[in-house]
Amino acid sequence: MRKKILAYYISSKLHVALSLWAFCQVTALQQGGRISLSLQLAIFCFGWAAYWYAHQVVPYYYKHKQLPFLQLFFTLCALLAGVILLRYQPYSIQLIFVGLGIISFCYAIPFGPSMGLRFIPGIKIFLIAICWASFAAVGVCASTGSVTLMVVVKSILWVVLLTLPFDVRDMDKDAQKLKTIPQLLGLNKTRVLGFVLALIIIFLIDQTVPISNIQYAAYVVLALVLMCYIRMHPKRHLHFTSFWIEGIPLLWYGISVFSLIFY
Helix axes 91-107, 37-52, angle to 10 degrees: 20
In a domain, 109, yes or no: yes
In a domain, 138, yes or no: yes
Identify residue 241 by its one-letter amino acid code: T
In a domain, 3, yes or no: no
Rounded-to-integer distance, Cα 132 and Cα 24, Å: 8
Identify residue 92 by its one-letter amino acid code: S
Closest to 79 measured CA to CA, from 60, 104, 96:
104
Query: CA dihedral defined by 150, 151, 152, 155, rounded to 10 degrees?
Result: 120
Phi, psi of 142 (to 5 degrees): -70, -30
**What was the pLDDT predicted at 64?**
62
CATH number of the domain residue 241 falls in:
1.10.600
Q: Give pLDDT tens digits along the chain (263 positions).
A: 677 788 778 888 889 999 999 999 999 999 999 999 999 999 999 999 998 888 877 877 776 667 777 777 878 888 999 999 998 899 999 999 999 999 988 888 877 677 788 888 889 899 999 999 999 999 999 998 888 899 999 999 999 999 999 999 988 887 788 889 999 999 999 999 999 999 999 999 999 999 889 999 999 999 999 999 998 988 887 788 888 999 999 999 999 999 888 76
In a domain, 192, yes or no: yes
Closest to 26 measured CA to CA, from 229, 222, 196:
222
3-state secondary structure of 227: helix
What is the tally of structural domains in the chain?
1
Phi, psi of 83 (to 5 degrees): -65, -45
User: Which residues contact residue 42 at a Cβ distance below 8 angstroms, ignoring those fewer than 6 apart?
Assistant: 82, 85, 86, 89, 97
- DSSP secondary structure letters along 127-186: HHHHHHHHHHHHHHHHHHS---HHHHHHHHHHHHHHHHHHHHHTTTTS-GGG--HHHHH-
Helix (H) or strand (E) holding 55: none
Contact at 8 Å (CB) between 71 and 119?
Answer: no
pTM confidence score = 0.94
Query: CA dihedral defined by 81, 84, 88, 89, rounded to 10 degrees?
Result: 70
In a domain, 4, yes or no: no
In a domain, 1, yes or no: no
Q: How many residues does the chain have?
A: 263
In a domain, 95, yes or no: yes
Rounded-to-integer distance, Cα 104 and Cα 135, Å: 13
Which domain does 76 fall in, by range? 9-261
CB atoms within 10 A of CB 59: 14
Contact at 8 Å (CB) between 216 and 225?
Answer: no
In a domain, 2, yes or no: no
